[in-house]
Amino acid sequence: MSDVTLDNMVGHRWRKPAFIKNVALRWTLILGFVAYLIAAFMTIEVDWGRVYEGLDRGWAFVLAFTSPDFTSRWSDIWSGLLESIVMTVAASVVGIIISIPIGLGAARNVAPLPVYVICRGIVAISRALQEIIVAILLVAIFGFGPLAGFLTLSFATIGFLSKLLAEDIEAMDRVQAEAIRASGARWVQWINYGVQPQVMPRLVGLSMYRIDINFRESAILGLVGAGGIGATLNTAFDRYEYDTAAAILLIIIGIVMALEYLSGIIRARVQ
Amino acid sequence: MLQLRKLTKTYKTGDQALKAIDLDVPKGQVLALIGPSGAGKSTMIRCINRLVEPTSGEALLDGVDLTKLGAGALRRARREMGMIFQEYALVERLTVMENVLSGRLGYVGFWRSFLRRYPQSDTDEAFRLLDRVGLLHMADKRADELSGGQRQRVGICRALIQNPKLLLVDEPTASLDPKTSRQIMRLITELCRERDLAAIINIHDVALAQMFVPRVVGLRFGEIVYDGLPTGLTPDKLTEIYGEEDWEATIEKVEDEDETEAAE
């Protein structure tokens, strides 16, 4: 590069080198993507007549939020709510307990290769199967009710928590753990002293977040018969009791916000 | 006490970090290992306690070849070698006391360590060591609340509570200011004398090494190119270790600093 001399550089404009150097390729990609986007939007059909008719129904639903009916179906709401809370707590606890060993196994810097492959496999399966699909399968096996919901949420928690925990372990400070190993600690002591303190805040934060998700999911799982507040919500929609449905949604929103607030406090404390 | 015999480390990339190192360290001797970055200083001490696996050669500690030990025997051998790290390597979210006591992990069972119920003799020794380095009042503070110099003192306590025969010290002063660096070096060398401990101290600050240790080993490209008294480090020798540079200033500075030190 003989032309990199000061005389050649001074007076020239400087620009950040482009991410894709080839000009033709760069513009082909940009224009191609824009064309695809336009074409994609054109394929989405909108039946404006249907939308006009539906506006009334939608408006009724929105209006219901101004007069939510907590009382007339209160016993149904209450039992659904209790079922959801039981499902959430039980599934979160079981899921978290199972996630910890799998998370350790799925971290390449802690686990030997065969264990790593198996644990990553479990994580991949759990994450590939969406909650609703798992719930439909489990309802088919165990019948309607919260058992199917509990198992679904536990299964989903494992995929979520193990993966994120493993990633946090892989990103930990190697030297802190090395210092513990240098003292002659056993593997379990090494995990307890060298690894656990480093990942604990994240584990607590993720667990809180997962409890939050599990509660929201429990409201959805009822739609496919896996128990919880979702079942009550589904019934209310089926009967066009929008005021009861609105009451249930308000309760769900309230609980999720309370959980969010609580997890914020807990996360700040374990930092 | 420690003997290295043709100790060699070749990394997977083909880089020869250590080329058949031969070195004898008698009991109670403190030795400084100097050399430019990448000379293999850090690799060498990590090959001794096998945080890095040596490729070939022997490392004998009291006649036992460390390079051939199985997992259990290696754990027991590691108890005999305390290590002090460059960036302190304290577990940040544990308390000072937990960090010091973690030096006993090789001696206590899992449940004792998990429940933090160490034998009274261990706890007493931890208190004594913290008092010796002037940090007894910080025992229940979290490690990340301490300053750099304080952290390194805790690191020293953690290494000493192992009751080791040998200290492996990796750039103990690299992240400290000049005054704290001297205090830490003085503390390490004093403690070694009190306990008749041998130590290998990796250090890139030649002047600091000359001030505190009786023997200097110079490493360049994985080979020992100097082994002798600190006073024997002439400009020629330093050029051999580090490459061409004006060394007069470095050497003179040592003498100046010694005078100011005495005046303090």
B148 Cβ contact list (under 8 Å, min separation 6): B88, B175, B176, B177, B180
Which of the two residues, A15 and B137, has the higher pLDDT score? B137
Residue A199 belongs to domain spanning: 71-270
pLDDT tens per residue across span B102-134: 999 999 999 999 999 999 999 999 999 999 999
Residues 146-165 of A with CB under 8 A from B: none
**Nearest alpha-carbon partner for B202 in B53, B56, B40, B66:** B40
B255 burial (CB, 10 Å; 0-12 / 13-18 / 19+) is exposed
CA distance B14 to B45: 20
State pTM to two decimals. 0.82
* Mean pLDDT of chain A, nearest integer: 90
- What does the pLDDT read at residue B259? 43
Task: Examine residue A66 and state whether it is found in any structural domain, yes or no.
Answer: no
CA distance A253 to A105: 36
Contact A181 B51 (CB under 8 A): yes
CA distance B144 to B257: 32
The CATH number that applies at residue A93 is 1.10.3720.10
CA distance B104 to chain A (A): 7
- What does the pLDDT read at residue B261? 44
Reported confidence tier of residue B260, pLDDT bands at 50, 70, 90: very low
Please report the ipTM that was assigned to this predicted complex.
Answer: 0.86
CA distance A84 to chain B (A): 35
| β-sheet with B56-61: strand ranges across | B16-25, B2-10, B56-61, B64-65
The answer, yes or no, to whether residue B252 has pLDDT greater than 70, is no
CA distance A185 to chain B (A): 5
A178: nearest CA partner in chain B? B51
A7 Cβ contact list (under 8 Å, min separation 6): none
- What does the pLDDT read at residue B262? 42
CB of A80 within 8 Å of a chain B CB? The answer is: no
Contact A200 B93 (CB under 8 A): yes
3-state class percentages of chain A: helix first, strand second, coil last, to nearest 5: 80, 0, 20
- What does the pLDDT read at residue B168? 94
pLDDT tens per residue across span B140-189: 999 999 998 899 999 999 999 999 999 999 999 888 888 999 999 999 99
- What does the pLDDT read at residue A107? 94
Task: Examine residue A247 and state whether it is found in any structural domain, yes or no.
Answer: yes
The answer, yes or no, to whether residue B245 has pLDDT greater than 80, is no
**How is residue B28 annotated by DSSP?**
T
- What does the pLDDT read at residue A211? 92
CA distance B61 to B56: 16
CB of A49 within 8 Å of a chain B CB? The answer is: no
A190: nearest CA partner in chain B? B105
A180, A184, A186 ranked by CB distance to B91: nearest:
A180
Which of the two residues, A98 and A237, has the higher pLDDT score? A98
Task: Examine residue A10 and state whether it is found in any structural domain, yes or no.
Answer: no
- What does the pLDDT read at residue B250? 66
The answer, yes or no, to whether residue B264 has pLDDT greater than 50, is no
Within 10 Å of residue A19's Cβ, how many Cβ atoms?
6
CB B9 within 8 A of CB B55: yes
Contact A181 B83 (CB under 8 A): no
Q: Report the percent of chain A where pLDDT is more than 90.
A: 54
CA distance B96 to B88: 12
Q: How large is the average pLDDT for residues A225-252? A: 87
Mutating which of A173, A183, A203, A269 best tests the B interface, going by the most B Cβ atoms within 10 A? A183
* Mean pLDDT of chain B, nearest integer: 88
CA distance B101 to B126: 7
Task: Examine residue A237 and state whether it is found in any structural domain, yes or no.
Answer: yes
The CATH number, out of the four listed (1.20.1260.10, 3.40.50.300, 3.40.50.2020, 3.40.50.1000), of the domain defined by the range B1-78+207-264 = 3.40.50.300
The count of domains in chain A is 1
Contact A200 B94 (CB under 8 A): no
Q: How large is the average pLDDT for residues A157-179? A: 94
Give the tokens for residue A145. 């009710």
CB B156 within 8 A of CB B84: yes
The answer, yes or no, to whether residue A173 has pLDDT greater than 80, is yes
Reduce the DSSP state of residue B91 to 3 states and report it.
Answer: coil
Residues 190-249 of A with CB under 8 A from B: 190, 192-194, 197-198, 200-201
Contacts of B89 in chain A (CB under 8 A): 175-176, 178-179
The answer, yes or no, to whether residue A215 has pLDDT greater than 50, is yes
Reduce the DSSP state of residue B167 to 3 states and report it.
Answer: strand
Contacts of A196 in chain B (CB under 8 A): none
Phi-psi map region of B89: left, alpha, beta (phi>0 left; psi -120 to 50 alpha): left
A108 Cβ contact list (under 8 Å, min separation 6): A116, A170
The answer, yes or no, to whether residue B253 has pLDDT greater than 90, is no
CA distance B98 to B35: 34
pLDDT tens per residue across span A122-153: 999 999 998 889 999 999 999 888 899 999 99
- What does the pLDDT read at residue A241? 85
A187: nearest CA partner in chain B? B110
pLDDT tens per residue across span A188-212: 999 999 999 999 999 999 999 999 9
Q: What is the Rg, in whole angstroms, of the alpha carbon atoms belonging to chain B?
A: 19
Contact A193 B90 (CB under 8 A): no
Task: Examine residue A243 and state whether it is found in any structural domain, yes or no.
Answer: yes
pLDDT tens per residue across span B26-82: 999 999 999 888 888 889 999 999 999 999 999 999 988 999 998 899 999 999 999
Contacts of B78 in chain A (CB under 8 A): 181-184
CA distance B23 to A66: 85
The answer, yes or no, to whether residue B257 has pLDDT greater than 70, is no
The answer, yes or no, to whether residue B215 has pLDDT greater than 50, is yes
Contact A193 B102 (CB under 8 A): yes
Q: Report the percent of chain B where pLDDT is more than 70.
A: 94
